[in-house]
Every structure is written in structure tokens, then in C-alpha cells.
Structure 1
Amino acid sequence: MADVLTNPRSDRVRSVRSLAQRPVRQRTGRFVVEGPQGVREAVRCAADRVVDVYLTDQAMERYAADIAAPARAAGLWVHQVTDEVLAVMADSEQPQGVVAVVEALAPSLADVLAGSPGLLVLLTHVRDPGNAGTVIRAADAVGAAAVLVSEASVDVTSPKVVRSTAGSLFHLPIVTGLPVESTLDELRAHGIRTLAADGGGTTLLPDADLSTPHCWVMGNEAWGLPEQVRAHCDDIVRVPIVGKAESLNLAMAATVCLYASAGALTFGT
């Protein structure tokens, strides 16, 4: 292990901090993972893409067995840093003492479709990092084959999205930059039904056909799905609301729909 990094103004520290900026991430093909859960999963599931791991003295002791040791065993660079250095590297206001720099992966829609996926979710023009990260985490939890993200959506390698996935970013393919309507056409050509999740849908979620391969299409937080996108889908499905809540937010609705799909595909219910 290298000497302890103590200078928060060093070139190395500045280069890590600069990855909070989207143009820098795009230019370098790298992003930052913060927190023990995210870094642990990066080391466990994507060690070949981990460039460096940074831990404070306290974090080095606390996560010796599940982060530091596995990282070294994988031949990764593990650096000890001061709290001040870690605070500069991290984007969050209360960093947890662990940061990693990881190379971004760019799977294609063709890669995903080659695996004959049974369950997908397509985020269309989703802008909120927390929503995007939560949907990725939910898709991971139910065993979805991939998450598809349209062009003009939030960058899934942004610090807030990465943190909100809690490591799920490293568990399933995330395909980004997709044009919505041509993606829907491609899914249909591969026998995958497209289900628009929309509060104005005529099909209630309990009545939707979820027994065959399908993709949930989720809209923007503010304006939902445009009419041309809804018309392009095979069905428009709404989550029934029996209480007084006006609606569910994007992440909640996606989670409910994904779990309904997982139940139908796994248990035939």
C-alpha cells in the first residue's frame, strides 16, 4: 500500500474530485463510487474496472475484511487517505470514509437482447438522480435483466445516482443514451411487449398480462409519458390507488410494477 495521502490539493485528489463533473466523466470514462456498500460491490462484482480504492484510517480498520483485503487480493491499488483528503474527493456532505474510482461500462441494447431478457425497464427522460438510482436498485432486487435509459435522461454515473443505487449499478447492465421510439420498435421486434406505466391507463396493474417477456416504460417525473410514446407501447397500465393519495412518484410506481412482474414471471401469478 502506498503512503498515506495527506495533501487535499494534490493532483491525484483534484483528479478524483473532478469526476463529479459530467464532462470529465465523459472524457475519462471514469466515475466515483462513494460509501462502503457501493465500493464493496464494485470490488466484488467489477474488480476489473476498479482503478483505485481510497479509505481513511478508520475505514481501513472497519472495512479491512470486506473491502481492503478483497481489493488487494484482486490486485487493486488501495490507498490510505486522511479525512480531509477523503472529504475533498467525495461529493456527499458526510462521506463515509470510502471512495473508489471505477471505469464506466457501456453495454448496448443488442448485448441485452442477445440474452433473451424476460423483464426490462425503460426510463424515458428521467431527470431526478434519486429516482433513477432507486429504479436501478428495484430492478436489481427483482432480477430484471437490465435497465434501459433514454437520451436526455440523468447521467447514471453522476455521484447522486451512483450513491442511490447502493451498489446495484454493478449487478445488472445499464444501457444509456437510447432513442425512445426506435428502442420500443427494437424491443417489439424481439418479442418483448412494452407496457407504459401511466396514471391514465385503462388497464389496471392486477389485470395486466405480465406472463411473457415485457418492458416497463416509465416517464418523466413532471410530465410523464408523451402521447406518442404511450401510443407506441403495447398497453398502458396504471397502478390502482384506493386511498386518498393523488399519485405515486416515479420510483414508487416503478418498484410496484417491477415486483408485480417478478411475481408473474417467477410464480405465474
Structure 2
Amino acid sequence: MDDVPDDLMTNPRADRVRAVHALTTRAARRRTGTFLVEGPQGVREAVAPGGPPVHDVYATPEAARRYDDVLAAARARGARVRLGDEDVLAAMSPDAQGLVAVVALVPTGLGEVLAAGPTLVPVLAHVRDPGNAGTVLRAADAAGADAVLLTRSSVDVHNPKAVRSTAGSLFHVPVVTGLDAGPAVQALRAAGLTVLAADGAGDHDLDDLLDVAGQAPAGTPDLARPTAWLFGNEAWGLREEDRALADAVVRVPIRGRAESLNLATAAAVCLFASARAHRTRTAPA
């Protein structure tokens, strides 16, 4: 750690500290074109090769010693590394865990996603809770989804809570924001994806669809095909006009006495069902 800067930041009210803390607001993120990444796991993924530009990384001396590999990776990416005491990092973010990064916002367009030939894409419509949005993005990454789309009425996925909830998956999966649901669904369908809406009152049972994946009869959605899933608001689910956009509406079967599944759990079940069905489609004869 001989190359760690010597000028320890000790003033939690300094302008630089205030500027970093301001990134907890959407206005500051839009104004600066940057967002805040908190904690060792998120910062580690942010500074990995191939990630977005990283402007600054701030660490306590203890975190710098513990995560010297993360700081080395940050420097290799051209980031400025500064040390601050615990009060400074806490002022930047109460969730810093001794380490934060200021990262550039790099917009991704829907056309770019579609040009890559996606086979699994969740679409979040009117999802307002940052924790839920981040958890769905993490599940999408784990299931091998090609991108995550959010409508303009959904939460800002660069909200600090959303970023934390992704556990670094924000840097693994292209994310397109600010979309109108109707045109986005039309574009997905034109690109060859079947559009399925997840809803507890759906006409099709997810388990039944898995049973016939790859050999679904006419009129039945085939989970083995490239698929986009529509997921709705945490409290009221998908609006009727959003359900009407889909080729079919699918329900996750509930075997026990639970009234329903929360958004993130239902999304994970649907995405992994598609991932399983896609293995059937690509398996050697």
C-alpha cells in the first residue's frame, strides 16, 4: 500500500464530501452524469475490467488495507483514489462500509440491446421500490438475462438502495431506462421475442408451460423461445393496459397457503423457468 495517497481527508463538511453525498439524489446524478456505488462488493464490480468509467474511489485506511486489490484495480482503470477517515466516509454515505466510488452513468439504448439478439429480457413496469428493482436485476443476472428494461414510471435504478440491492449485477447486465411500455414491447416482439406478462390471475400456469417447453401445442406459449417478461408494480401488479400488451399472461403456481409472492420472488421464479426452458431448446440432440 505504499502508493496510497498520504493526504487523509478528515473534514466531513468539505465540499468534496458534500458533492459525493449529493449523489444520493436524482437531481445530482442527472447534473453530474455520475452515481454512487457503496460498499466493497459494489465497488469491486464497478472497477472490474470492462465496466463503466470510474472517477473516484474513497476508502478509510482500514478498508484500504483490507481491500487493497480493489484499490489497485481502481487505479488500473484510471480512477482517483483518496483516503478519508470514518467520519468522512459516513458523511458520504451511511452505507459506505468504508468504501465508495463515483461512477459514470453510461446510457444503454434499446436498439443496442436488440441488435445483440437477446433471448431473455425482464421489463419492469411501474416498479417503484429501489430494493425490488435492484433485486430483480440481480436475479436477472443470475438467470442469464441479456438485459433489463425499466419503463419511465419506474424507479431510478441508480438510486443508491437499488445499486446496493443489485450486489454488483448492475455492472454485468445492460440496463435500459425511461421506456414507454407499448413501444418497448412492440420492439421486443419485432425482434422475435414472445412477450409474457406475470400475473397471479394469468390464464397459463408456469409449471404447465415448463412441462411442454420446446414442444408447446399451438396457442400455448413456448418458454423455450426467446422471451421478454413483463413485471408490474409491487402493490397492484400489472395494469390492465400493460397486461394487454403481452402475448399471454402467466401465473406462478402457489402450492401452499401463501396469499401471493412478492415482485422480486415472482420475477426470479419466472426468469429461472425461462432459463431452464432455454437449456431444453439448446441441448444437443
TM class, shorter-length: over 0.9
State which of 56, 59, 73 in structure 2 corresponds to 1:55: 59
Counterparts of 2:183 and 2:239, CA distance in 1:
15
Q: Distance in 1 between matches of 2:275 and 2:121?
A: 11
For residue 6 of structure 1, report the CA deviation from its aligned partner: 1.1
Q: Name the counterpart of 1:86.
A: 89
2:234 is the counterpart of 1:210? no
Match of 1:102 in 2: 103
> Which residue of structure 2 aligns with residue 163 of structure 1?
164
Aligned counterparts of 2:52 and 2:249: Cα–Cα separation in 1: 41
- TM superposition score normalised by structure 2: 0.91
For the pair shown, the structure with the greater C-alpha radius of gyration is 2
| C-alpha displacement of 1:189 | 1.1
Percent identity of paired positions between Structure 1 and Structure 2:
56
CA deviation after TM superposition for structure 1 residue 232, in Å? 1.4
- The whole-number CA distance in structure 1 between the counterparts of 2:48 and 2:77 is 9
CA contact (8 A) 2:114 2:191 kept: yes
Q: Which residue of structure 1 lines up, in the alignment, with residue 142 of structure 2?
A: 141
CA displacement, residues 79-124 of structure 1 (integer Å, 9 cap, x when unaligned): 11100000000143xx310100001111010000000100000000
Moved over 4 A (4+): 45-48
Shift of 1:207: 2.5
Alignment partners' CA distance in 1, 2:30 and 2:75: 28
Matched position secondary structure for 1:120: strand
Q: How does 1:165-204 map to 2 (within 5 A)?
A: 165-204=166-205
Matched letter for residue 37 of structure 1: Q
Gap change, CA 1:48 and 1:138, over 3 Å in 2: closer
Instruction: Indicate if the aligned counterparts of 2:144 and 2:275 stay in contact, CA closer than 8 A.
Output: yes
Distance in 2 between the 1:240 and 1:251 partners? 15
The residue that corresponds to 2:214 in the other structure is none
- 1:45 deviates by 4.2
Partner of 1:21: 25
Matched position secondary structure for 1:102: strand
Contact 1:45 1:171 survives alignment (8 Å): no
Distance across 2 between alignment mates of 1:46 and 1:7: 33
> Which residue type is aligned with residue 47 of structure 2?
V
- Quote the Cα distance in structure 2 between the aligned partners of 1:200 and 1:182: 24
Describe the superposition over 1:140-166 as per-residue Cα deviations: whole angstroms up to 9, x where unpaired: 011100000001111000110000000
CA contact (8 A) 1:47 1:74 kept: no
Q: SS at 1:20's partner residue?
A: coil
**Which structure features the higher share of helix residues?**
1
Q: How many residue pairs end up in the alignment?
A: 266
Q: In structure 1, what is the Cα distance between the partners aligned to 2:13 and 2:91?
A: 9
The reply to whether residue 238 of structure 1 matches residue 251 of structure 2 is yes
Deviates more, 1:122-131 or 1:38-47: 38-47
1 CA distance for matches of 2:238 and 2:51? 37
Distance change >3 Å, CA 47–CA 200, structure 1 → 2: closer
For 1:226 and 1:204, locate their aligned partners in 2 and report how far apart those are by CA, in whole Å: 20
Amino acid at match of 2:197: A
Partner of 2:212: none
Unaligned 5+ residue runs, structure 2? 210-221
2:224–2:280 contact (8 Å) kept in structure 1 = no
**TM-score computed with the length of structure 1 as normaliser:** 0.96
Checking the alignment, whether the CA contact within 8 Å between 1:219 and 1:225 is kept in structure 2 is yes
1:146 and 1:38, CA in 2 relative to 1: closer, same or farther beyond 3 A? same
> Is this contact kept in 1: 2:46–2:52, CA < 8 A?
no
How many Å separate the matches in 1 of 2:249 and 2:94? 39
Output the CA distance in 2 between the equivalents of 1:86 and 1:174.
28
